[in-house]
Amino acid sequence: MPSFNQSIFYPAVFFLTGIPGFETYHAWISIPFCCLYATAISGNGMILFVIISESSLHEPMYYFLSMLSFMDLGLCLSTLVTMVGIFWFNAREISFDACIGQMFFIHGFTFMESSVLLAMAFDRFIAICNPLRYATILTNSRIIKVGFAVVIRGTVALVPLLLLLKRLSFCQSHVLHHSYCFHPDVMKLSCTDTKINSAFGLAIVISTAALDAVLILLSYVLIIDAVLSIASPEHRKKAFGTCVSHISAVAIFYIPMISLSLVHRFGKNAPPLVHTLIANVYLLIPPVMNPIIYSVKTKQIRNTMLKIFLSKLI
């Protein structure tokens, strides 16, 4: 464990953490992590390739799905280097500026993914509640505007948060609980008053992920009301079936995020292993599961993947 000079207030480096208590097994532990990364990167890459190359999938629903895959791909790539460095080379050091940069991408892609899930909920709402106007409401130009709004929203929210972090002084241990830089984790190490940072961070979370969650829930209340008014049980089942993939994606995104937030706020006495495991679940499970869910549950995606695979095989 590195020793720290308590008189140093602006850290040259932070020290990332692998799996506490299992450092000697990091090489073996890296195998399942590498498998998860490979699955996430290849799965989301395949989704993007299929949607781009297949003209029949150039529809609003699949455009939003491609945005989701892009965010998941970015989230994986933003932590891959530090994760591999820790497990393979015990490279735990990360400079303060590099840490800030990694936080920008991790939190940025997270907030963008939340916005995309909200856009997908709106897509399902229009498709079920107002299907006759679906094509006129969700035009290509509007989808492009939504994409730009998603990126701008995620970026603008983060810049002041990270600038506020740079003004802090750090005179405590510089050892982080995770294998990547996470804003609450870094902020807890400061010996400066962090009330402004905490309040601003909470405001951003409420105005992005929390607001999106409420709007997604509201959209599904309206969707359920509309579906229950359909007379035919077969049509009701079909309408609900179009939402299953999105509901699953929402669940695997928000449950790990809420769990990690609760651990950081109320789990100060929890073992370091708990922090690390939940942080890794939050980071890897959504990018791994989303391609699997949409490949299994979405017939068009599944059939196109099989067609491409068989054509390459032949």
Residue pLDDT, tens place only, 189-219: 888 889 999 999 999 999 999 999 999 999 9
12-21, 41-50, 56-65, 205-214: least confidently modelled range: 12-21
230-239, 271-280, 295-304: least confidently modelled range: 230-239
* Alpha carbon distances (Å) from 245 to 64, 144, 250: 13, 23, 9
pTM over 0.75: yes
Q: What is the pLDDT of residue 172?
A: 67
Q: What is the pLDDT of residue 2?
A: 44
Q: What is the pLDDT of residue 11?
A: 60
Question: What domains sit in the chain, N to C, each tagged with a CATH number?
Answer: 14-313 (1.20.1070.10)
Residue 289 reports pLDDT greater than 90? yes
Q: What is the pLDDT of residue 10?
A: 56
Q: What is the pLDDT of residue 6?
A: 42
